[in-house]
C-alpha cells in the first residue's frame, strides 16, 4: 500500500531559523517531490530565540494541522520552544486533525515533546514520523545522505521502516544476552525532552515498548543522570529494550577520568535488567534513519556470522551483533 500527499508544509514550531541558506537548499530539494509547498507566516520570523511569539507559533501549528489537504508537515528545525506552548495547544483537536486529514508530522529533537503529546491525545502512529528536518537534514550543504533519503522515502510513501545496524561483540549487550527477538511499540527521541515530560500530563506511558534515545551537547554525567531519572520514574522498567542512538561528542569534564559511555550503558542494563543496544543510527547526526512514533515494531538482535579463526584471532572473540528494527504502520 502506498501513501499520497497533496502538499508539503514547512513548520517552525520551536527555534528561529538562523541558516537561511540551509532553508533555501531544503526547499529546493523538497521541490523534487513535485508537490505544492506551503510556508506558514511564522516560518522565518524571529522573536527572541523563537520562530515567532508563542501566539504566532500556536497559530502556525493549528493552521498546518487544520489544512484539509493531506500534507507532509516537515519541521524546519528544533532548538527550544515547544515546551513553553505545550499547555496552550489544543492537543485533542490537533491530534484529530492529523488523523482525519491523514497528515504526517516529521521532525526530531524539540519536536519529540509535540509528537508524544499528540500521540497521548490519540494521534495515530502513521501521522508521527520521527525523522529528518528541513534545515538540519534536507538543508545539509554536503547533500542529504543517501541513507537518510532512502529511509525517509520508504517511511513517507510506503509507511514502512526497515533499519539495520551492527554492534561490536564488546558491547554491553553481550554481557547478559545471546540474542533478542521482540515486538512492541517503538517510541522515544531526545532524552532531555522526554525527561522534561516527567510529572506532566504528557508523561509517556508505554508498556513493553522499544525505547529509542538520543541527545547532543550534553556532558556524559548529565546523560547518566537523565537515564537514571527515567529509571527512577519507572519508565525504563516498563520497556523491553533500550536502543541508544547518537549522543555526539560528550563535553569534556576533568572529573571523567576512565568514565565512559560504556560504563553508563552497563549501569543502566545492570540496574534495570533491560537489554541496552548501542549504535542506533539516529540523532543529531548524518546520516539518520526514522521511525513512526508509537507504532508497533519488531526488533531482532542476532550474532553476526563469525569469520574463520586464524592464528592471529582469539578464539574467544565475539563476532558482534546484527540488529534490525521493522515497522509497517499504514492502515489496511
Task: Convert the pLDDT of each residue in 70-127 to its tens digit.
Answer: 999 999 999 999 999 999 999 999 999 999 999 999 999 999 999 999 999 999 999 9
- CA pair distance 198, 220, nearest whole angstrom: 21
Residues 141-164 have a mean pLDDT of: 93
Q: Is the pLDDT of residue 151 over 70?
A: yes
Give the number of other Cβ atoms within 10 Å of residue 106's Cβ: 25
- Mean pLDDT over each residue of the chain, to the nearest integer: 93
Domains along the sequence of the chain with CATH: 7-144 (3.40.50.10740), 157-328 (3.50.30.60)
Do 156 and 129 contact (CB within 8 A), yes or no?
A: yes
Which uninterrupted H or E stretch holds 268? helix 261-272
Q: By C-alpha distance, which of 205, 184, 174, 147 is closest to 326?
A: 184
Q: Which residue has the higher pLDDT, 309 or 267?
A: 267
Q: How far apart are CA 280 and CA 244, in angstroms?
A: 6
pLDDT in tens, 203-219: 999 999 999 999 999 99
Assess whether 28 carries a catalytic annotation: no
Residue in the block written with cell 549504535: 279
Q: Is 214 a catalytic residue?
A: yes
In this structure, are residues 8 and 35 in contact, taking their beta carbons and an 8 Å threshold? yes
User: If you average pLDDT over residues 184-203, what whole number do you get?
Assistant: 97
Say which of 12, 14, 109, 278 is annotated catalytic.
109
Rounded (10°) CA dihedral 263, 251, 285, 192 = 80
The average pLDDT across 225-236 equals 97
Per the structure block, which three cell numbers stand in for 82? Answer: 515547544
Which position has the higher pLDDT, 183 or 168?
183
Could you give the CA distance from residue 236 to residue 120 in angstroms, rounded to a whole number?
18
Given the residues 102, 140, 214, 224, the one annotated as active site:
214
What pLDDT, on the 0 to 100 scale, is given for residue 305?
74
Asked whether residue 201 carries a pLDDT value surpassing 60, the answer given is yes
Amino acid at each position: 500500500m502506498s501513501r499520497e500527499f497533496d502538499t508539503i508544509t514547512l513548520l517552525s514550531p520551536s527555534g528561529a531559523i538562523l541558516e537561511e541558506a540551509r532553508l533555501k537548499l531544503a526547499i529546493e530539494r523538497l521541490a523534487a517531490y513535485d508537490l505544492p509547498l506551503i510556508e506558514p507566516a511564522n516560518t522565518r520570523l524571529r522573536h527572541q530565540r523563537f520562530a515567532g511569539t508563542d501566539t504566532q507559533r500556536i497559530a502556525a501549528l493549528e493552521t498546518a494541522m487544520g489544512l484539509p489537504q493531506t500534507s507532509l508537515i516537515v519541521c524546519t528545525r528544533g532548538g527550544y520552544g515547544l515546551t513553553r506552548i505545550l499547555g496552550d495547544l489544543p492537543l485533542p483537536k490537533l491530534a484529530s486533525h492529523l488523523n482525519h486529514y491523514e497528515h504526517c508530522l516529521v521532525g526530531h529533537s524539540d519536536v519529540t515533546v509535540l509528537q508524544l503529546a499528540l500521540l497521548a491525545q490519540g494521534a495515530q502512529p502513521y501521522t508521527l514520523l520521527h525523522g529528518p528536518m528541513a534545515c538540519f537534514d534536507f538543508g545539509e550543504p554536503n547533500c542529504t545522505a543517501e541513507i537518510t533519503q532512502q529511509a525517509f522515502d520508504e517511511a513517507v510513501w510506503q509507511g514502512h521502516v526497515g533499519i539495520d545496524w551492527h554492534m561490536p561483540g564488546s558491547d554491553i549487550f553481550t554481557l547478559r544476552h545471546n540474542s533478542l527477538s521482540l515486538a512492541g511499540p517503538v517510541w522515544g527521541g531526545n532524552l532531555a525532552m522526554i525527561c522534561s515530560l516527567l510529572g506532566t500530563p504528557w508523561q509517556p506511558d508505554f508498556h513493553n515498548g522499544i525505547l529509542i534515545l538520543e541527545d547532543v551537547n550534553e556532558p556524559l554525567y548529565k546523560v547518566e543522570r537523565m537515564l537514571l531519572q527515567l529509571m527512577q520514574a519507572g519508565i525504563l522498567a516498563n520497556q523491553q529494550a533500550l536502543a541508544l542512538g547518537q549522543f555526539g561528542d560528550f563535553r569534556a569534564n576533568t572529573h571523567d577520568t576512565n568514565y565512559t559511555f560504556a560504563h553508563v550503558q552497563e549501569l543502566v542494563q545492570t540496574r534495570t535488567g533491560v537489554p541496552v543496544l548501542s549504535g542506533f543510527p539516529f540523532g543529531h547526526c548524518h546520516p539518520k534513519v526514522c521511525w513512526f512514533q508509537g507504532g508497533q515494531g519488531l526488533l531482532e538482535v542476532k550474532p553476526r556470522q563469525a569469520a574463520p579463526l586464524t592464528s592471529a584471532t582469539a578464539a574467544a572473540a565475539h563476532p558482534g551483533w546484527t540488529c534490525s528494527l521493522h515497522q509497517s504502520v499504514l492502515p489496511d
